[in-house]
Amino acid sequence: MGRRLPARFFKAPTEKVARDLLGKILCVRTRAGVSRSRIVETEAYLGAKDQACHSYRNRKTDRNKAMYLRGGHGYVYFVYGMHFCFNVVTRDAGMPEAVLIRAVEPLDDEGVEPMTNGPGKLCRHLRIDRRHDGLSLTRRDSPIWLEEPKAREIKKETIHRGPRVGIDGAPEAKDWPLRFLYEGNRYVSKKPRPRSM
């Protein structure tokens, strides 16, 4: 097993956590065993001041209350009637900021067509759903946690930073460069699907 990320990691400023999560290993335990995948795309959501964030102006509802937990918890919500999105809560309790995990590269399944290149698709593939909302990611017995990569899982890739996806309804925040990804990585979201031959 790699070394688990400690609670301290998630308390840092959210933009830093979003960038530093690139290359870290997302681990999910199911009946079948533990699946490990490498994070290749994230977005930061900055709480009260961020119009695109569910906790804009400190809004707190039953849906988003997990965002108010201490950094190192999971926040999972349901969108568009059919998809779940997985986020990592950051900062201290009462500061409702989080990082959306948008894409991962499976380490168990190498060479398989990308099925984890988008926030909804990766939740479906990894079987993440509302049962995981509010879960601690740092407790020993948690079914989801994060690890440092092992030596052979470390790759040198270029980080691209740009505006977030799908938030046109938030004009004042839509251009904030809070999306981080590995440039050219084949598991990053929103790539054109394979051309016919």
Which residues make up the interface to DNA (CB under 7 A)?
Answer: 43, 45, 52-55, 59, 61-64, 67, 75, 78-83, 85, 87, 98, 100, 118-122, 164-167, 169, 189-190, 192-193, 195
State the DSSP string of 99-168. Answer: EEEEEEEESSSTTSPPS-SSHHHHHHHHT--GGGTT-BSSSTT-SEEEEPPPGGG-----EEEEPPSS-T
Provide, rounded to whole angstroms, the least separation between the CB of residue 68 and DNA.
12
Q: Which is nearer to DNA, 121 or 160 (CB)?
A: 121
Q: Which is nearer to DNA, 33 or 194 (CB)?
A: 194
Provide, rounded to whole angstroms, the least separation between the CB of residue 93 and DNA.
17
Provide, rounded to whole angstroms, the least separation between the CB of residue 151 and DNA.
30
Q: Which is nearer to DNA, 2 or 65 (CB)?
A: 65
Contact 100, 165 (CB under 8 A): no
What's the rounded Cα separation, in Å, for the pair 67 and 111? 35
